Structure formats: C-alpha cells, structure tokens
Amino acid sequence: MRLQLIAALVVLLPATGATAQVDDRESGEGKLDSEVALYADDDATTVITTLVAADLRLPAPVVVDAHALIDAVSSASVDVVSAATPRWTENRIELGAKAQARLARLDLVLGYVSSGENDWRSHGIALGVGKDLADDNTTIRAGYGYTTNRIGRARDPVFEKTLDVHGAELSLAQVIGPSTLASLAYTVQRSDGYHASPYRYVMTTGGGAGPEVHPSGRTRHAITGRLLRALGPTTTVDASYRAYVDGWGVSSHTAQLALTRELGDALDLRVRARGYYQDAADFYQESYAAPMRYMSADRELSTFWDAGGGLKLAWYGEAIEIGVKIDGSYYRFLDFGRLGGRVAVVTGGGITWRW
Amino acid sequence: MALVNRIVVAVLGVAAASCTDDGLTDPSSLPELDRDHFRCAVQPVLAARCAFAGCHASARRPLRLYAVGRMRLGVPWDRLAEPLGEAELEANFQAARGFASADGDESPLLLSKPLDPLAGGGYHRGQDLYGDRDVFESTDDRGYRLVAEWLAGASAPADCVPTTEVMP
C-alpha cells in the first residue's frame, strides 16, 4: 500500500552533477553509502528506511552505481482505520542501477529501478543527456523516464490494475557570477491507468457508498527555479520555488530555503526550511451529497499545507563521511474531515566510505 | 491563494491552462436499477448473508446495511423487530448501487467480493473472520443469482413479495 503516492512517479535521474561524477574522479574511485532513517507521525504510521548504495568510476569515462532500499512500514492511520482494517505492516524493496557517462562532450545517464511490495510492483527506466555551453557557464539537460506499475490488492488474487507513467524534464543551469548559480527546470508527466486506491471507499451523505474512482489519465506540469549562492567563504544558501498544476485541477507551490555553514575543516551544518500549499483536485469534496463520476477519499488530493524544517550535521574525514539529520513537518488538511493535521518527524544517519 | 494560483497558471502558460480535464465534476453514471426488485430479491439476501453487527450492519463499513433486528436507522431499540422503513430500504438500495458498477469486463464488487476466490471471486475479509466459506460459494448460489439478476436489469412489480429463498 503506497502511503503517499497513488501513482509511482517517474524517477527522472538527476542528470545534474553527471559531469562532476565522471570527470572529477579517477578510475577505480568509488564509495559505499549506508543510511538508516526513521519516519514517525502522530497518525500511527512509522517507516524505517534502510539504504545501501555504491558507485565506481570505471577505466572508461563512466560511473556506475547500484542501490538497495528497504522500507519497513507499519500503519494504523486514519485511512486504514476508517476502512475497518486493523494495523498493517509490510516491506517495500527497491533495487536500482545507473550509469553516467561522458561521451563526445555530452553527459549521458541511463538508469533502471525496480520496486516491489505485497500489492505493488514497478519497473522504471530513465535516460538523460546534458551539454555544457559558453565555457561551461551554461548547462542544458533533458531527461525522459518511463515507469510501468502493476497494482494489486492485498490477498486478492483477482484484483490487478496497471499504471503507466511517462515523464520528461528540460532544465537550464547558468553561472551568474563567481558565487552564484541559477537553474530553471520544466517537468511534464503523463500517467494512464489506475490512479485510485483499492482500499479506499467513499460514502455519500445520502447513504450511498462505493469504491474510490479517479480519472484514468493525469497530466502534470511543474516549473522549478533554484538559486545557489555563496555568502562568504563558509556559508552557502540554496533557495528554490516550485509551481505545479495538473489536469485534475490540483495546483501547488513549494518553497525551500537551506543554509549550509562550515563549522570547521571537516564539519558542515545545514539548516533547512520548507513550505507547501496545495489546492484540491476539482472533483475532490470533503463529503459528497450524491454519487459523482469521480469521487476521492484521498487526502493528498484535498486542500492542505505543510511547513517544516530540519538540521543536518555532516563530518568529513579522509575516507569516511558521517551524517545525521532530523526534520520535522506539520501538515494541515483544510477539507479532510477525518484528519485535521499531522505532525511528522524524520530522523536518520548515514556513513560513507570513499576509496 | 487565488491570486497566486492565477499567477502560477499564467506562468505555466498554455500547457497548464488548457490541461484541466473535462467532466471532472460530472454526476455519477451508476446504473439505473429497479427498487422493487431490490426490495423483494436482493434485500433479503443482504439481510440474511451480510447484515451482521461484525460485518455490514455497521456504520463503519462502506457497504452499510440496515436489517430487521440489527442496525436500524432512527428506530428505538425496543422496536428493532419492525419491518424496514422506506428510508432504510432506500439507504440499502443506494449502498448496494454504489458497488454495482463494473470496471471493463470485471464483475461488480457486489458480486465479485462475496464470491469465493475458488469460484472466481476476490478477497473478502469476512471469509477470514467467520470461517472458510465465503458468502457465495459459487455462481450457482441462489443468493448470487438473485443479486446478479438485479444488476443485469431485472425488475419486479410494486406489489412483489420479498423472497425467503436466500440461503445456499
């Protein structure tokens, strides 16, 4: 059961940085990352995420990496309880691999991700290409991703749906001065298939009820602007804003501000704040007076905002990096009667070994 | 936020402004079904097979059903044995109708969910909770056929008498 997204979003591989990954590393260089994170909220949901990832620079100008991730989810959230279902637990396992290459002055990325849990299996591929222009002060990148999802229903041998997602991104990054980098990215995504949840039902005030029904197609557009600027020799600010609209009538705004400061030769502190506001989908209603063509009980389609922030402390040794972080968020649902708000905390740590 | 949203739509341009789908707020196209056939053929099946306190005679269930002697709508506890009123029958009709739509060539949930998986049905938690047998063990079950006939468009006269042939 996907907690946050009905649709498995296309993972557009981060083409940004591909050049640094390939050009700045010697053949044989690599790293091994391991991270553990705990998500907990006051809606009776916990997720423990364990990640192991590794990459290696090959003799050719190619960096390959692979990762394995396990989400151990336990939930008795209001969505679960209101469907008269007891607490459930499950594991989601994700495996992925990616290759980044520098070829004919182009940065190329090719990746594959597979994810599986008891009622959902997905496979995704992503391609990316980038080129530096104007003495490397300008970079343009394009990416495409495709994910195919097979959706089931726990313990139900009959229920089987599909969801196919295509996504593309075009971005432009520009060095503005010796200490400033700005970027702008446009993302479009089209998904077709089953977008609802087989576990959610909608009841009308007139006594009717039925399974949640969402449109079979969804087109999303987003523009993201980002500005990175060094404020002196030890401090960097990273500000971004994202505007989003889709064919279901959802529009949203996301603003984020992060400040990173060097606390010494080997210690960094990052302070981050984030805010989000979303208008509901056109067909979403807190309660339906009569059955409608499309009906949803998904709070992710309601009107809501969230705000949060966090701290991250990272220590850089010669071959070892250690990081710890804690983030907190408050979610406020403005037209979702079963849950007015939610407080969530994510804390975790990781260690990286470089050679 | 309305002004900000307009700005966002303007910024995202023609692609965004023209992409909102049509028909998102249309009324439901649930099938038209016969109320008298429901009252005489389907309600007895639902009352006998589904409307128990731990099952669907509960306001917690999306398919919530009123039945004599069990969950009632505005009926005092000392009159639970009285026949269902119009409002209760209408609520049951609407609840059942909500599960009457089929997606493609699939069976409506009202038929597929209570049908035993060995007979082609889907997962039904009631089978776990109350024994190995599901509500309908096969498509030959009398109750299954009564519900199927209603979903197929069968009608009954207004003076029909509720059936008592509802058990397997």
Q: Report the CATH number at residue A221.
A: 2.40.160.40
Task: State the Cα angle at A347 between A343 and A348, rounded to 5°.
Answer: 160
For A266, the enclosing helix (H) or strand (E) is none
Number of domains in chain B: 1
pLDDT given at position A158:
82
Nearest to A279 among B5, B19, B26 (CB): B5
* Confidence at residue B2, expressed as pLDDT on a 0 to 100 scale: 65
CA distance A232 to chain B (A): 33
Q: Which residues pair with A304 in a beta bridge?
A: A278, A333
- Whether A320 is in a domain gets the answer yes
How many residues comprise chain B?
Answer: 168
- Closest to B24 (Cβ–Cβ): which among A156, A251, A283? A283
* Residues of chain B with confidence (pLDDT) below 70: 1-19, 168
Q: Do B27 and A292 touch (CB under 8 A)?
A: yes
- Neighbouring residues of A171: CB distance < 8 A, sequence distance ≥ 6: A15, A16, A140, A141, A142, A183, A184, A185, A186
Distance from CA of A138 to the nearest CA of B (A): 23
Instruction: Report how far residue A281's alpha carbon sits from residue A6's, in angstroms, rounded to the nearest whole number.
Output: 14
What's the structural domain count of chain A?
A: 1
Residue A1 falls inside a structural domain:
no
Q: In this complex, how many residue pairs, one in chain A and one in chain B, have their CB atoms less than 8 Å apart?
A: 120
Nearest CA in chain A to B27: A292
Which residues does chain A have within 8 Å of residue B90's beta carbon, measured at their own beta carbons? Answer: 207
Does B72 map to a domain?
yes
Which of B3, B11, B28 to substitute to test the interface with A, most A CBs within 10 Å? B28
Judged by CB atoms within 8 Å, which residues 60-119 of A form the interface with B? 82-85
Distance from CA of A301 to the nearest CA of B (A): 13
Q: Which of B25, B94, B112 faces A158 most closely, judged by CB atoms?
A: B112
How far is residue B131's CA from residue A349's CA, in Å, rounded to a whole number?
Answer: 46
Cross-chain CB nearest to A293 (options B19, B27, B109): B27
Q: What is the largest CA-CA distance in chain B?
A: 65
In angstroms, the CA A265 to CA A262 distance is 7
Give the torsion sign (CA, B31, A293, A79, B103). positive
Beta bridge partners of A315: A267, A322
Structural domain harbouring A162? 18-354
The pairing of beta strand A30-41 with beta strand A320-333:
unpaired
Total count of residues recorded for chain A: 355
Q: Which of B11, B58, B95 sits opposite A209 (nearest CB)?
A: B95
Give the separation between CA B52 and CA A164, rounded to whole angstroms: 40
Q: What whole-number distance in Å separates Cα of residue A346 and Cα of residue B146?
A: 53
B95, part of any domain: yes
Q: Chain A: residue nearest B18 by CA?
A: A247
Residue given tokens 């039925």 in the structure block: A210
Rounded average pLDDT per 10-residue block, chain A, 355 residues = 40 45 85 97 95 96 97 88 76 97 93 96 97 94 98 88 97 95 97 94 83 94 97 95 97 98 94 98 93 93 98 96 98 93 97 96
What is the structure's pLDDT at A6?
A: 34
Q: Could you tell me if B74 lies within 8 Å of chain A, comparing CB atoms?
A: no
Say whether A208 and B62 touch across the interface (CB within 8 A): no
Residue B122 in domain: yes
Residue B7 is predicted with a pLDDT of 63
Question: Rounded to whole angstroms, how far apart are CA atoms A271 and A21?
Answer: 25
Three-state DSSP state, A298: coil
Phi, psi of A94 (to 5 degrees): -125, 135
CB proximity A158 to B under 8 Å = yes
Nearest CA in chain B to A277: B1
A223 touches chain B (CB under 8 A): yes
Residues of A with Cβ-Cβ distance to B94 under 8 angstroms: 204, 206-209, 291
User: Touching check for A289 and chain B: CB below 8 Å?
Assistant: no
Contact B122 A153 (CB under 8 A): yes
Residue pLDDT, tens place only, B103-144: 777 889 999 999 998 898 888 888 877 777 889 999 999 999
In this structure, is residue A321 part of a structural domain?
yes
Partner-chain residue, chosen from A153, A243, A294, that has the shortest CB–CB distance to B8: A243
Chain B residues with beta carbon closer than 8 angstroms to that of A293: 23-29
Q: Choose the closest CB to B62 out of A159, A209, A244.
A: A209
